[in-house]
Amino acid sequence: MLYIRNLSKTFATGDTALTDVSLDIPKGQIVGLIGPSGAGKSTLIRCINRLVEPTSGSISLGDVELTQIGARALRHQRRRIGMIFQEYSLVERLTVMENVLSGRLGYVSFLRSWSRRFPPEDVERAFRLLDRVGLYDKANNRADALSGGQRQRVGIARALAQDPELLLVDEPTASLDPKTSRQIMRLITEICAERRLPAIVNIHDVPLAQQFMQRLVGLQAGRIVFDGPPEALNEKTLTTIYGEEDWKPDRETHEPSQEVLAG
């Protein structure tokens, strides 16, 4: 479904973010990208929709080679790729419904989109999506009146509005509390399973990745150093990805100090 072969990226600054990355993701599989800051996770995600131009290598979605196409074809291909971002990137002054419909912009004519009028079937579909993410009754609320978790639900519905064949998810829970993070990860994984959507999720929280991902890919200094199921992550593999650290959970019991007992 998504085939990445020998992908490398060196920026004009001379920084190499990716070296010889190869990765296949079949339909319906969710892959969690883990690795320390600066490992190349965002660059990998951005190369796939060519927000970052790869230096070499190939990326194909189905039978379309994404690295070889021109601007016009790229606009068309980007409709096949849904993006969910850390900061939601909603249009604050617009309603929830309008934000979700903006996911359809690639499909409606310029004049219609400019006047923000959408075909009734798009509106119907948007309502179904809002229902799926639990925001049906918030359709007319302004985006800036929502909580972080609700905003990310709008981001998910918007990405789905374009009927993507691949989801790219960049740190979806970075601004959320632990409980909301779990709810959002659960929603994303359930939706991918329902639609047999392949997804790459850049996720910095290892326990969250282990809980929700079927497959984890560990990047370290731009190279894949781990690729396997969450159960295969252990002290040794974590050290390969993140470097030396004591990976055992801290089980030390913190006895109250003498002063507290005395007080």
Q: Which x/- pattern, by CB under 6 A, does the window 23-42 give for ligand ADP?
A: ------------x-xxxxxx
Q: Applying CB under 6 A, which part among 12-20, 113-121, 143-151, 244-252 lies near ligand ADP?
A: 12-20
* Side chain identity at residue 131, one-letter code: D
87 binds ligand ADP (CB under 6 A): no
The SS3 call for residue 132 is helix
Contact 153, 135 (CB under 8 A): yes
Q: Give least dist CB 239 to ligand ADP, A.
A: 18
Cα–Cα dist 179/208, whole Å: 11
* Residue 102 beta carbon to ligand ADP: minimum distance, rounded to whole angstroms: 26
Judged by CB under 6 A, the stretch of 13-21, 180-188, 238-246, 248-256 that binds ligand ADP is 13-21
Beta bridge mates, 202: 33, 170
Residues 217-246: x where in contact with ligand ADP by CB under 6 A, - otherwise, as a string: ------------------------------
The amino acid sitting at 200 is I
Distance of CA 219 to the CA centre of its chain: 16
CB 35 within 8 A of CB 240: no
Q: Which helix (H) or strand (E) holds 25?
A: strand 16-25
Using the minimum distance from each CB to ligand ADP, give the nearer residue, 97 or 209: 209
State the CB neighbour count (10 A cutoff) for residue 15: 12
For the bound state, the minimum distance from the C-beta of residue 53 to ligand ADP, rounded and expressed in Å, comes to 11
From the list 188, 4, 6, the residue with the least C-alpha distance to 84 is 188
| By CB under 6 A, residue 43 contacts ligand ADP | yes
The structure tokens listed for 205 are 């929280």
Which residue from 6, 11, 87, 240 is in contact with ligand ADP, where contact means CB under 6 A?
11
Smallest separation, CB 33 to ligand ADP (Å): 8
Which residues here bind ligand ADP, judged by CB under 6 A? 11, 13, 15, 17, 35, 37-43
